[in-house]
Amino acid sequence: MTELVDATRTTGAAPAGARVSLEGLVRTYGTTRALDGFSLAIEPGEFVALLGPSGCGKTTALRVLAGFERLDSGRVTVDGRDVSKISAQHRDMGMVFQSYSLFPNMNALNNVAFGLRMRRQHATQRRQKAGELLELVGLSDQASKYPHQMSGGQQQRIALARALAIEPRVLLLDEPLSALDAKVRAELRDQIRQLQQRLAITTVFVTHDQEEALSMADRVCVMSAGRAEQTATPAALYSRPTTSFVAEFVGVSSRVPVEPVDGSVVLFGERCRIRASDTGLPNGPLDALLRPEDVAITLDETAKPFVTHKSFLGATTRVIAQVDGVAVRVDVRSDVAADIELGARVRVSVVSRDVLVAERSVTNPVSPQ
């Protein structure tokens, strides 16, 4: 990866990120509510990822912010100014699209310079600045190439340079890595994050890939059914999910039926505290939601649980143990897992001090995740 050059030198004055606020956004398509009162406040220079399954409304939220979608109700403010009624043309937000969307009739340099041309900058100035931005993304040697002559990763870096050229105060990234292969994706992920931190641009990143969201963002907003389920730092989101949806969508969780006893539950014969949840304690039968690292197993020929699956993940191996008909996923050090055969009897125990509980689910799929 080409070393990044000093952003303040390449882009003139470093643009300060804007404070962005999405307040009670509602957007409906026919009978479908794509956004159902979605709210999110983003600090200047912050990198926020919108994460969620297909149809959760994350792309709609980004498009509303960009000005490509009208709102049924709610408002979007940038540094306190209501921009809900302002067209995308005048919002001064840079956007990188999933499908690159470079203009096919322009070479890389002219693509990057397009926004400057629309701002009537002098040809010499815009060529110079576009050249600097190509250098910033490590593609100065590709300036004369047309999009069809470049790889997907190169095109997306050109698209990033094009979005940055207008010195946006808000950068919008709509699944920019999803069309790339794994190696390029990892490289570009790092480059986007470094650039964002260096330029201090407020950035909103839409993805359905939790690994991307957790590794890049300052905060992650998990969305479901057009609403924000939880907005928190990646670490908090993973370790302290406040809803069962977040617990199951982010990371891997096993559902184990439990019975509540005085604010705690009995799990594998041990008493565990119930973790505080935004939604409170559900009524009726409960499931404990367990991360693979929250559980431990030890070989024990006298125990009833037994191993049904093993998946090598590198340093750790994910083992699935069948406990009273319920699949429990456990991460075990790979050198230890090597001694655990399929069908081996194991003792299962909880290593975390508290557990998240949710209303009991009907199914407990056994899949080697």
Q: Which residues are near other proteins by CB under 8 A?
A: 66-68, 87-95, 97, 99, 101-106, 114-115, 117-119, 146, 148, 159, 162-163, 166
Q: 162 vs 310, which CB is nearer to other proteins?
A: 162
| Per-state percent for the chain, helix, strand, coil, to nearest 5 | 30, 35, 40
Walk across the sheet containing 260-261 and list its strands.
254-258, 286-290, 354-359, 270-274, 264-267, 260-261
Q: 146 vs 306, which CB is nearer to other proteins?
A: 146
Dmax (CA) of the chain: 81
Shortest distance in whole angstroms from residue 285 CB to other proteins: 47
Shortest distance in whole angstroms from residue 90 CB to other proteins: 7
Q: 22 vs 247, which CB is nearer to other proteins?
A: 22
Q: 77 vs 98, which CB is nearer to other proteins?
A: 98
Q: 81 vs 353, which CB is nearer to other proteins?
A: 81
Question: Tokens 């890595």 identify what position?
Answer: 177
Shortest distance in whole angstroms from residue 93 CB to other proteins: 7
3-class DSSP string for 87-114: CHHHCCEEEEECCECCCCCCCHHHHHHH
Nearest-CA neighbor of 190 among 204, 177, 202, 201? 177
Asked if 143 contacts 131 with a C-beta cutoff of 8 angstroms, the reply is yes
Shortest distance in whole angstroms from residue 162 CB to other proteins: 7
Structure tokens at 320: 């699935």
CB atoms within 10 A of CB 246: 26
Shortest distance in whole angstroms from residue 226 CB to other proteins: 22
Locate the DSSP E strands across 52-152.
73-78, 81-82, 93-96
Cα–Cα distance for residue pair 266/14, rounded to 1 Å:
55
Q: 142 vs 277, which CB is nearer to other proteins?
A: 142
Question: Tokens 């931190």 identify what position?
Answer: 197
Q: 5 vs 166, which CB is nearer to other proteins?
A: 166
Shortest distance in whole angstroms from residue 103 CB to other proteins: 5
Shortest distance in whole angstroms from residue 49 CB to other proteins: 20
Cα–Cα distance for residue pair 76/74, rounded to 1 Å:
7
